[in-house]
Amino acid sequence: MNRTESFAGEALQVVRGSRSGVAIAVAIHSTARGPAIGGCRIKAYPSWRDGADDALRLSAAMTTKCALAGLPYGGGKTVAALPAEGMDPARRPDLIADIAEAIAALGGRYRTGPDIGSTSEDMAEIHRLAHGWAFCRPESQGGSGTSSVATARGVLAALEAGVAPGSVDGLRIGVLGFGSVGRLICEALIERGAKVVVTDVDEGLRPVAERHGAAWTTADLVREQLDVLVPAATGGLLTVESAAACGASLIVGPANNQIAAEEVATVLRDRGVTWIPDVVASAGGIIHAVGREELGMDEAAVNAKIDAIGDTTNSVLALAREREWTTVRAARELAALA
């Protein structure tokens, strides 16, 4: 007999935007520690159900991320599931208004922020229309701005913990993705003496990367012999196949959803590749946003909390080693105790 799959979250709201016609899913995984927070993803999906599934999965990761970062929030996520052919840019204001309406309906139980496909400017518009509930508006509009610097800082804290403090000098590090966060990580690593090799789907970024002192490659960095691999592009990069061929000793980066399935973490562990889960390494952005905008923390307090990602990394790696768990399991178990 088939068992009914139980619903692991608290709530899932799916609406069809009255202006845009786009399906908007807001998943609230947990408000046990405080309001649910998580970014607003605007992206094409094969169907709205895939979008809703993604929202649920990503919202659960946000619960773990908030708990491990010691924040009084739970996990949520918004997914606006665009049709496969994308959307006419002229319709975007309609979509943003629909998203704002969906979020406003939750009355603050869920608060959003920028994610794939959404910007600080979108957050300003959502905040205006919903009368709040959106982080990371531009600083000129009263928000904490982009969280790229904070996210990069958190990844560096995790990376330093993973390689043992102070020993970045001379390491060969591959950075996959030269977007706003990837670029800041490259700069910092080069400054600390690492040999950085970078790749991005956008070849146009090559001169910028080389000017920064990074070597550009078109090779598949996952298979390259590296001391550290930094996934800084979109998720799902590590599959069972690519993990089996992974040439890095340590993987740590800001990308969300780095592993395509839970078993990938097992493959990495069994091959002796240390993976610092994204829920640990990528928390700098939310720490900065909620610290500055809602928790009344100054920049120094926020930075100290971001740097503490290094301690969390050590705890996760120690627990995983001790119990022979995957690092992601160790992260989840630690989060449950937090």
Binding site for ligand PHE (CB under 6 A): 37-39, 62, 113-115, 135-136, 147, 285-286, 289
- Catalytic residue flag (residue 305): no
Nearer to ligand PHE, 76 or 174 (CB): 76
Amino acid of residue 335: A
Name the minimum Å distance from CB 8 to ligand PHE: 18
- Assigned token pair, 29: 């995984």
Q: How far is the CB of 135 from ligand PHE (least distance, A)?
A: 4
CB of 105 to ligand PHE, least distance (A): 18
Angle of the 92-104 helix axis to the 120-130 helix axis, nearest 10: 50
Minimum distance from residue 73 beta carbon to ligand PHE (Å): 8
CB 185 within 8 A of CB 163: no
Q: How far is the CB of 136 from ligand PHE (least distance, A)?
A: 5
Q: Which is nearer to ligand PHE, 40 or 248 (CB)?
A: 40
| Residue 98 vs 115, nearer CB to ligand PHE | 115
For residues 65 and 269, which CB has a smaller minimum distance to ligand PHE in the complex? 65
| 15 membership: H or E segment, kind and range | strand 11-16
Is residue 153 within 8 Å of residue 307, measured between CB atoms? yes
82 to 48, 94, 98, 246: CA distances (angstroms): 8, 13, 13, 33
Helix (H, G, I), strand (E, B) or coil at 164: coil
Q: Kindly write down the DSSP assignment for every residue of 183-243, as one continuous string.
A: HHHHHHHHHTT-EEEEE-S-GGGHHHHHHTTPEE--S-GGGS-EEEEEE-SSS--B-HHHH
Among residues 48 and 135, whose Cβ is nearest to ligand PHE? 135
Which are the contacts of 1, defined by CB distance < 8 A and separation ≥ 6? Answer: none
| Annotated catalytic residue within 43, 65, 77, 305 | 77
Would you say 89 and 8 are in contact if contact means Cβ atoms under 8 Å apart? no
Would you state the structure tokens that stand for residue 53, as one six-digit string?
């599934």
The CB-nearest residue to ligand PHE is: 113
* Residue 67 · residue 316 · CB < 8 Å: no
CB of 282 to ligand PHE, least distance (A): 7
Indicate the DSSP class of residue 134.
B
Minimal distance, residue 9 CB to ligand PHE, in Å: 15
φ, ψ of residue 52 in degrees (nearest 5): -65, -40
Please name which of 88, 78, 77, 98 lies closest in space to residue 21, comparing C-alpha atoms. Answer: 98
Token readout for 176 is 């996959």
Nearer to ligand PHE, 279 or 317 (CB): 279
Report residue 295 CA to chain centroid gap. 21
Catalytic residues, by residue number, are 77
